[in-house]
Structure 1
Amino acid sequence: MWHDNDFTRRLGLRYPIVQGPFGGGLSSIDLMVAVSEAGGLGSFGAHHLAPEKLGDLTRQIRARTQRPFALNLWVSNQDPGGDRLSADQFAAAIERFRPYYDALGMTPPPMPERYGQRFEDQVQAMLDAAPPVMSFVFGIPSPAILSECRSRGIATMGTITTIDEAIAMDQAGVDVIVATGFEAGGHRVSFLRSAEESLTGTLALIPQVADRVSRPVIAAGGIADGRGVAAALTLGAQGVQIGTAFLACEESGTNELHRRMLFTDDAKYTALTRAFSGRLARGIRNRFVEEWEGVAPLPYPIQNWFTGTFKATAAAQGRGDMISLWAGQGAPLLKHRHAQELFDALVAETAALLR
């Protein structure tokens, strides 16, 4: 049976379908609970949350589902120079973004105390919260952290973009390896080489990784319907991680403008850009992406902080040209607007193809 394998048995799932974790507030408890209750693995991108919020988040989730779920962190959440700006540098950065504040009728923000969270603080809070699964991107946690996860009964799931990263993840003893092709929406989570040097497609990546590692492989990138699930399983994956299709559902944490854009012809045209966060990510091409082409962004998370100061206002004003519209190359395949409908379709289509 296609949904009974090492991966589903290890995590206690009915179906090998993982909802991709969305960072920056795009995740929601409603969505992850819907997926987990349907028999898959719901996920919540928590890298933007302060450590003290992680325990509360875990308790809220457990109050709504007893099924397995995953919380996701970024192992590397700061690029060189991304921890601070001098007063002069901050003033110069404000001037770079002033046209966007002016267009939205906003007053530029004051300098913050910090631009993002520290993984070292977050991961200790994560260990204390002890979710069923800790997933992570942009690197591999230390052996001590992985050992602590095992001792607390926390399954680990790490994401890779290349064969070398997969081998490193396997040797580290991570329980499940998510192999993501460049078709995927959102951030390219490479960690051994630059993201631009790690752009392997899902079709080529999955069988090569499956041939070289001993852990279950989960395929991600460009999968939006049962055909993609069946193809990934045929290529050697034991499950799939689906992002854009779940992001488009009403239960996700994104805004209505973003969801609506995922069902338009604009979704056919995605771009890999560092414009919004300072790290390479795939989203629908728009004015902001085009205006930053050839322009060096500030390092992550500083660039991300600045764009985050106006994205909510831009969305509220219907300015799709000024917000990050994360989307994978499979977006034109989207049909469903509710998580249960999408999940049921994935199961039925996959079963029919693999029967």
Structure 2
Amino acid sequence: MIYDNSITKKLGIAYPIIQAGMAGGITTPELVASVAETGALGTLGAGYLTPEKTKEAIQKIKQLTHKPFAVNLFIPEHPTFSDKKIKQANQLLAPIRRDLNMEEQIQLPEMNKNLFEQQIEVLIEEKVPVCSFTFGLPPKKIVRRLKSEGITLIGTATTVNEALANEEQGLDIVVMQGSEAGGHRGTFLGNFQSAMIGTMALVPQAKDLVNIPIIAAGGIMDGRGVLAALILGAEAVQMGTAFITTKESGAHPLYKLAIRESTEEATTVTKAFSGKPARGIRNTFIQSLENREHHLPNYPIQNMLTQEIRKEAAKRNRPEYLALWSGQHPRSSTDKQAGDLIQSILSQIEDLMGNLGL
């Protein structure tokens, strides 16, 4: 059977569909559990959660399902930055803050430099079955420790070389993130412009050179995309945008509406919101900063500077100032329950295979 492969066996799932671990409140425990209950893999996006909130969400998921699920963590980054950069960023953000009736200058909140290690301890304590990583490679000592606890590890790559680095580091599976994908780029070797490779080109090249199993991501929204990825050599797919608009998603209603009404030419890759390249729907916020991104501090500093803007915009129903992360295939988005979405994908795959005589 097409679904019976090394990834579904290793993850303990029936279907090779993984709901991406999107941080920022989208991946509610209800969404993760609903996906898991269908036989796919739900993922909690814990990148911005405190250790306490991470633990609370994991425990809620466990109350809702006994099926396997994953938690996604961000590899920490501690860039240097100058007061000049902070001042420049605040000046550029001041008109937006004024429009939202906010204070024009803010002080950076304290960064928890031990967040990643503390979250790792939570995952071990809660016996989470699967952990995925974005923005780089976890240290080998953490890889060894997690694997000794029986936790399956999934990395992220945007090039074949990054996939090979994941394999060398000891990760079990790697997500190949094509340039069509919404949200932050996972590039960690070289510049992101050189790593903007489409899923259809990226997956088969990785399959030919990488020994660990591959998950395809980027622009996959329905059964056609899933089946195509499997034919290209992936053993599973990771889908993000498709799940943002589901009923269990924690995304703002206007964010969901923006995706459902969007088209393939509406997205762009920007550093304006976070200081790290990410694909989202072009709006007023992006347009106001798109020629000035070189004045902004790198991630996570810029992300911290815009955090309250995004919160206030959500409160005031101002989508022009929200980070509307989306992939390049929004036309197939729906407002279904997550379980119904997965069932429709599986039905479409069955029909396609029948039509192709597979």
Q: Same-fold call, TM > 0.5? A: yes
Check whether the contact 1:3–1:15 (CA below 8 A) recurs between aligned residues.
yes
Which residue in the other structure is 1:307 paired with?
Answer: 306
SS in 2 for 1:63: helix
Are residue 238 (structure 1) and residue 226 (structure 2) matched? no
User: What is the alpha-carbon distance in structure 1 between the residues aligned to residue 131 and residue 119 of structure 2?
Assistant: 12
How far the C-alpha of 1:108 sits from its partner, in A, is 4.3
User: What is the alpha-carbon distance in structure 1 between the residues aligned to residue 221 and residue 157 of structure 2?
Assistant: 20
Are residues 115 and 304 of structure 1, via their aligned partners in 2, closer, same or farther at CA, if it must alter by over 3 Å?
Answer: farther
Which residue in the other structure is 1:22 paired with?
Answer: 22
Which residue in the other structure is 1:217 paired with?
Answer: 214
Which residue in the other structure is 1:129 paired with?
Answer: 126
Which residue in the other structure is 2:101 paired with?
Answer: 105
Please list, as runs of the form range in 1=range in 2, the aligned pairs for 1:110-189 lying within 5 A after superposition: 110-115=106-111, 118-189=115-186
Deviates more, 1:312-321 or 1:143-152: 312-321
Check whether the contact 2:109–2:304 (CA below 8 A) recurs between aligned residues.
no
User: What is the alpha-carbon distance in structure 1 between the residues aligned to residue 320 and residue 117 of structure 2?
Assistant: 35
Check whether the contact 1:267–1:327 (CA below 8 A) recurs between aligned residues.
no
Which residue in the other structure is 1:227 paired with?
Answer: 224
User: What is the alpha-carbon distance in structure 2 between the residues aligned to residue 179 and residue 54 of structure 1?
Assistant: 26
Deviates more, 1:31-40 or 1:260-269: 260-269
Which residue in the other structure is 1:348 paired with?
Answer: 347
User: What is the alpha-carbon distance in structure 2 between the residues aligned to residue 221 and residue 211 of structure 1?
Assistant: 19
Which residue in the other structure is 2:78 paired with?
Answer: 78
How far the C-alpha of 1:93 sits from its partner, in A, is 4.0
User: What is the alpha-carbon distance in structure 2 between the residues aligned to residue 322 and residue 98 of structure 1?
Assistant: 13
Amino acid at match of 1:96: L
User: What is the alpha-carbon distance in structure 2 between the residues aligned to residue 267 and residue 114 of structure 1?
Assistant: 38
User: What is the alpha-carbon distance in structure 1 between the residues aligned to residue 88 and residue 201 of structure 2?
Assistant: 43
Check whether the contact 1:268–1:331 (CA below 8 A) recurs between aligned residues.
no
User: What is the alpha-carbon distance in structure 1 between the residues aligned to residue 321 and residue 308 of structure 2?
Assistant: 12
Correspondence for 1:287 among 270, 278, 284:
284
How far the C-alpha of 1:210 sits from its partner, in A, is 1.1
How far the C-alpha of 1:172 sits from its partner, in A, is 2.0
RMSD: 1.8
Check whether the contact 1:183–1:328 (CA below 8 A) recurs between aligned residues.
yes
User: What is the alpha-carbon distance in structure 2 between the residues aligned to residue 110 and residue 164 of structure 1?
Assistant: 40
Check whether the contact 1:2–1:351 (CA below 8 A) recurs between aligned residues.
no
Deviations 1:206-232 (A, max 9, x none): 011111122111100000010000000
Identity of aligned residues (%): 38
SS in 1 for 2:274: coil
Amino acid at match of 2:250: G
SS in 2 for 1:145: helix
Are residues 299 and 155 of structure 1, via their aligned partners in 2, closer, same or farther at CA, if it must alter by over 3 Å?
Answer: same
User: What is the alpha-carbon distance in structure 1 between the residues aligned to residue 70 and residue 130 of structure 2?
Assistant: 4
SS in 2 for 1:27: coil
User: What is the alpha-carbon distance in structure 1 between the residues aligned to residue 17 and residue 96 of structure 2?
Assistant: 39
Deviations 1:65-114 (A, max 9, x none): 11010001111333343xxx65x765554333221111012234642442
Q: Which runs of 4+ in 1 moved over 6 A?
A: none
User: What is the alpha-carbon distance in structure 2 between the residues aligned to residue 266 and residue 13 of structure 1?
Assistant: 32
Deviations 1:5-57 (A, max 9, x none): 11101111010100011112222111111100010000011011122332222
Deviates more, 1:19-28 or 1:215-224: 19-28
User: What is the alpha-carbon distance in structure 1 between the residues aligned to residue 197 and residue 85 of structure 2?
Assistant: 36
Amino acid at match of 1:346: I
SS in 1 for 2:174: strand
Deviates more, 1:193-202 or 1:215-224: 193-202
Check whether the contact 2:108–2:304 (CA below 8 A) recurs between aligned residues.
no
Which residue in the other structure is 1:316 paired with?
Answer: 315
SS in 1 for 2:18: strand
Amino acid at match of 2:137: I
Are residues 206 and 317 of structure 1, via their aligned partners in 2, closer, same or farther at CA, if it must alter by over 3 Å?
Answer: same
Amino acid at match of 2:93: F
Amino acid at match of 1:144: K
Which residue in the other structure is 1:66 paired with?
Answer: 66
The TM-score normalised by the length of structure 1 is 0.93
SS in 1 for 2:269: strand
Check whether the contact 1:115–1:301 (CA below 8 A) recurs between aligned residues.
no
The TM-score normalised by the length of structure 2 is 0.93
User: What is the alpha-carbon distance in structure 2 between the residues aligned to residue 48 and residue 324 of structure 1?
Assistant: 15
User: What is the alpha-carbon distance in structure 2 between the residues aligned to residue 233 and residue 52 of structure 1?
Assistant: 38
Are residues 353 and 78 of structure 1, via their aligned partners in 2, closer, same or farther at CA, if it must alter by over 3 Å?
Answer: farther
Which residue in the other structure is 1:262 paired with?
Answer: 259
Are residues 283 and 129 of structure 1, via their aligned partners in 2, closer, same or farther at CA, if it must alter by over 3 Å?
Answer: same
Are residues 264 and 40 of structure 1, via their aligned partners in 2, closer, same or farther at CA, if it must alter by over 3 Å?
Answer: same
How far the C-alpha of 1:194 sits from its partner, in A, is 1.7
